[in-house]
Amino acid sequence: MRRRTVIVWVAGVAGLSGCLFADDRHDGPPELLGFGEIEVVIDGSSVDLSEDRFQAEHADNYSLAFHLHEGDDFWYMEGEEPVTFAEGIDALPYFAYEHASGADIVTYDGAVYDGRDPGTELTFLVDDDEVDPTQYVLSDGDDLHLEITTEG
């Protein structure tokens, strides 16, 4: 029975090793503030966040504050301060977030999804509850879901 416990523990540590050990951009290992699942859906199609271009190991512009790693489907948050949902989306490669005139605006791969446009809706969910992405500070274990729908 103890052998299984050790195997599970080692597998868990190995899965986090990309976050817990220093790399050439940092002096020492940052503090892991949390991790959880994330999904982005645009007009009914999930964005494949497991693509190399989104993973910290392959992206030139990844953020330590909020990032993804190859080999799993989790977001990771490290550093001194937790980030908001909006800051997390903005930190992902190929994504940008801004808030203008009371509306959420997400850019993905050059396509702009502006909540001020008629027929465009952006919904930010944490554990199936709708949240204001600029106010909601992420916590360990949060299940994040961004749903973007457009007419057309």
Q: What is the pTM of this model?
A: 0.81
Is the CB of residue 78 less than 8 Å from the CB of residue 135?
no
Give the Cα separation of 89 and 92 in Å (integer).
5
Query: Could you tell me which CATH number the domain at 31-149 has?
Result: 2.170.130.30
Give pLDDT tens digits along the chain (152 positions): 444 433 333 334 434 444 544 445 555 556 899 999 999 999 999 999 999 999 988 887 778 899 999 888 899 999 889 999 999 999 999 999 999 999 999 999 999 999 999 999 999 999 999 999 999 999 999 999 999 999 96
Q: Cα torsion at 62, 94, 149, 77 (round to 10°)?
A: 0
Give the Cα separation of 114 and 20 in Å (integer).
36
